[in-house]
Chains A and B, each alone.
Chain A
Amino acid sequence: MMIIRPIAHGDLAGLMNLARSAGVGLTSLPVNEERLSRRISRSVLSFAGELDRADQGYVFVLEDSETGQVGGICALEAAVGLKEPWYNYRVGTIVHASDELGVYSRHETLFLSNDHTGYSELCTLFLHPDFRANRNGGLLSKSRFLFLAQFPQLFGKTVVAEMRGVSDADGRSPFWEGLGRHFFSIDFAEADYLTGVGQKAFVAELMPKHPVYVDFLPADAQAVIGKTHDNTRPAVAMLESEGFRYEGYVDIFDAGPTVQAYTSEIRAVKESRTLAVKLADPLPAGERCHYLVSNESLTGFRVILAEAPAPTHEFFLTPDQAQALNVQEGEHVRVVALSPKENV
């Protein structure tokens, strides 16, 4: 059975394996033992309530309970931009018009913004290729919504997720070539790497601070503003189905969209319910759906995916499932349908 749980110090070796299989593409998961170790420590301290909000980052792993193997990672930042600035470009509109001269023209502009300061962030999602089956992707990604629903006091009122922008097979980003390159004589891959290793604010400080008229960018750079990399389309579609929206904020390097939602309005947060556990083996007959099920513990937080009949006042778990969640009959679990269509 696949279990989502907070990362622990003992996961370092498993995390290193994950990082190796992710390759250079995922800059937030570098093959660097020291950095990964620090990331784990920060998460452990966050769960223990020993860090300021600015530093809190919650990292979860997907573990196969039979083998103990770590097959995926996902994370939540409590609040971005509280220690160093968090940058986006906001795509704005400026109208230059004169009735008297018969002129009306509309122009898109890119405003450097820190508007998302204090927002929470969905980040660092990676599932090992061997585990990409049986709805594990949905479990891993959406498990975070149950955590948000269970512990809203730890997070901001809005959650953002940065989507990868358009780049070609060689990692060349047309937006970077059209804008960033002029201000920063390095390749996008290097800028991307610096971002991944926590140097984004430094890089951002070298970017133009004044609004940039989109008209002045080359056509291929203009074309990718707010556009997602092909490989990231499914992730965007998933977030959109949960209520996330593109509101005109893009990444300052590759112009990939940032999608956002009010925490309480995310489908899996809003529709999740707490129900009493009822043990059954086998589960009662009837039409079954996939449910994300979590316990109510902070440091012992667990999420599993359960195929169960639609619940009424209680939620049926097998003893194995209850054990995986560390819950007894009569205790409460938080439940939500895995996908929007399968309403609780």
Chain B
Amino acid sequence: MFIVRPVRTADLPAIERLAVASGIGVTSLPNNRDKLFERIQKSASSFEFEATAETGSEYYMFVLESAGEVVGTASISACAGFDEPFYSYRSETFVHASRTLKVNNRVHVLNICHDLTGMVQLCGFYADAALEPIAAELLSRARLLFVATARARFGRRIIAEMQGIHDDAGQSPFWNAIGRRFFNMDFLQVEQAFVGHSKTFIAELMPSYPIYVPLLPDDAQNAIGQIHANFERPCQLLTTEGFEADNYIDIFDGGAVLTAELDRLQTLERNRCYPVEVAASLPAQASVHLVCNQQVGDFAAAAIRVAVVDGVAFINPDAAQALGVSSGDTVRVVGLQQG
């Protein structure tokens, strides 16, 4: 059984292993023990925090557990950027037109902006590629079940940065066309060199005036809004959820930034709460759903078989144990995307 729960300090070695495996470009999962430890601590205090609508720097980190082993991690940040601006490029169209000369040209421009600052942000997603699809779905959507459970802790809109295109050697055509000119370093080098600093710190050294896309090399233009092959599955999960790739891209690798209205997401719209009944044998119509408990610090979500009969959710004892619920407690249930 796959279970998603808040990260604990004891998970540090496992998280470190995942960070190494996640490779290049996932800036939100740094390959640095101190930083990871810091994040785990921050997450722990966020879960303990008596949150109100006044969202701030809370950062919630989850792990995906299978048979007692940590095999994935995903996070949600209450407020992108928090006390710093959150930079992205906004794709814009300038129309250069002249009636006199009978010319009408549309020019694609990237304008650096802070539009996404303060939005809820899904980040730090990594699951072993070998895992079955339902595990990735649980890991990704458990965060949204947590949002549903602790809705007051999160704002109205949510974003998720998708990793952009880069080759096996870590070369990003978008970075090479823009960022490299301002840093004279590979993207990978920048990540490593500045691991102790926030992304905003680096963003402030990037060009602040609009970038005319037609002036960029073709491979950089083609990378705009594209998503790295490794991110296709997480991206697919989110677009099915209701996320859209509209006008925002990452300023470093040009990857798409997905955005959505939190309350319009499938998980938030379709989940329902039921009192639970623990039963060793489930009614015949039982099928696999994503289910979570009603806790914050002891939050747990799992993909388990459940049958809802007359407003009661029947689950078996193993699942109840995993979720930390017993008969009479309330659980939150939502269907799988495939279903």
Instruction: Name the interface residues of B2-56: CB closer than 8 Å to any CB of A.
Output: none
On chain B, the residues within 8 Å of A96 by CB distance are: 182, 205-207
Tell me if B107 counts as interface (CB < 8 A to partner A): yes
Residues of B within 8 A of A103 (CB): 182-183, 205
A109 within 8 A of B: yes
Beta-carbon contact of A100 and B197 below 8 Å: yes
Contact A101 B182 (CB under 8 A): no
Among A103, A109, A203, residue most surrounded by chain B Cβ atoms (within 10 Å):
A103
Q: Is B107 in contact with A183, judged by CB distance below 8 angstroms?
A: yes
> Within the complex, what minimum Cβ distance (angstroms) separates B215 from chain A?
4
> Is B211's beta carbon under 8 Å from chain A?
yes
A96 and B112 CA atoms in complex are apart in Å by 15
Distance, CA A98 to CA B193, complexed state (A): 13
Query: Which of B80-88, B94-102, B118-126, B285-293 lines the interface with chain A?
Result: B94-102
User: Are the C-beta atoms of A194 and B182 separated by less than 8 Å?
Assistant: no
Known interface pairs A101-B201, A105-B183, A205-B98; A184-B103 also in contact (CB < 8 Å): yes
Task: Please determine whether A212 and B105 come into contact, CB atoms closer than 8 angstroms.
Answer: no
A103-B183, A182-B212, A183-B107 known; A202+B100 contact, CB < 8 A: yes
Is B194's CB under 8 angstroms from A208's CB?
no
Dominant SS among interface residues on chain A: mixed
Is B201 touching A213 in the complex (CB atoms < 8 A)?
no
The CA-CA distance from A97 to B210 in the complex, in Å, is: 19
Q: Decide yes or no whether B66 CB sits under 8 A from chain A.
A: no
Alpha-carbon distance A210/B184, docked complex (angstroms):
24
CB distance from B212 to the nearest CB of A (A): 6
> Chain A residues near B214 (CB, 8 Å)?
182-183
Given contacts A103-B183, A105-B182, A216-B215, contact A199 B100 (CB under 8 A): yes
| Minimum CB–CB distance for A115 against chain B, Å | 18
> How many of B's residues come within 8 Å of A, CB to CB?
31
B107 proximity list for chain A (CB < 8 A): 182-183, 208
B168 within 8 A of partner (CB): no
Within 8 A of A (CB), among B175-218: 177, 181-184, 193-194, 197, 201-202, 204-207, 209-212, 214-216
Interface residues of A in 156-188 (CB under 8 A from B): 178-179, 182-185
Q: A102 — nearest CB in chain B belongs to which residue?
A: B193
A97: B residues at CB distance < 8 A = 205
A101 touching B197 in the complex, CB below 8 Å, given contacts A213-B209, A213-B211: yes
How far, in Å, is A174 (CB) from chain B's closest CB? 14
CA distance A249 to B207 in the complex (A): 22
- The answer, among B103, B202, B209, for a CB contact under 8 Å with A109, is B209
**Is A135 interfacial (CB 8 A cutoff)?**
no
Contact: B209 with A210, CB < 8 Å?
yes
Provide the B219-242 mask, 1 if CB < 8 A to any CB of A, else 0: 000000000000000000000000
Q: In the complex, what residues of A have CB within 8 A of residue B183's CB?
A: 103, 105
Chain A, 188-211, CB within 8 A of any chain B CB: 194, 199, 202-203, 205-211
Interface code A56-92, partner B: CB below 8 Å = 1, 0 otherwise?
0000000000000000000000000000000000000
A213 touches B207 (CB 8 A): yes
Contact of A98 among B94, B98, B105, B204 (CB under 8 A): B204
Contact call A216/B98, Cβ cutoff below 8 A: no
User: What's the nearest-Cβ distance from chain B to residue A216, in Å?
Assistant: 4
- A209-224: which residues lie under 8 A (CB-CB) from chain B? 209-213, 215-217
- What's the minimum C-beta distance from A54 to chain B, rounded to whole angstroms? 20
Contact in complex: A199, B101 (CB < 8 Å): yes
Output the nearest chain A residue to B183 by Cβ-Cβ distance.
Answer: A103
Collect the chain B residues with CB atoms within 8 Å of residue A184's CB.
96, 103, 105
Asked whether any CB of chain B lies closer than 8 Å to the CB of A9, the reply is: no
New contact pairs (18) apart from A97-B205, A194-B101, CB-CB < 8 Å? A96-B205, A98-B201, A100-B197, A100-B201, A101-B193, A101-B202, A105-B184, A182-B214, A182-B215, A184-B96, A184-B105, A185-B105, A202-B100, A203-B101, A206-B96, A210-B209, A213-B207, A213-B209
Would you give 10 A-B contacts (Cβ < 8 Å), ordered by A?
A: A98-B205, A101-B197, A105-B181, A179-B215, A182-B107, A182-B215, A184-B96, A185-B103, A216-B181, A216-B211
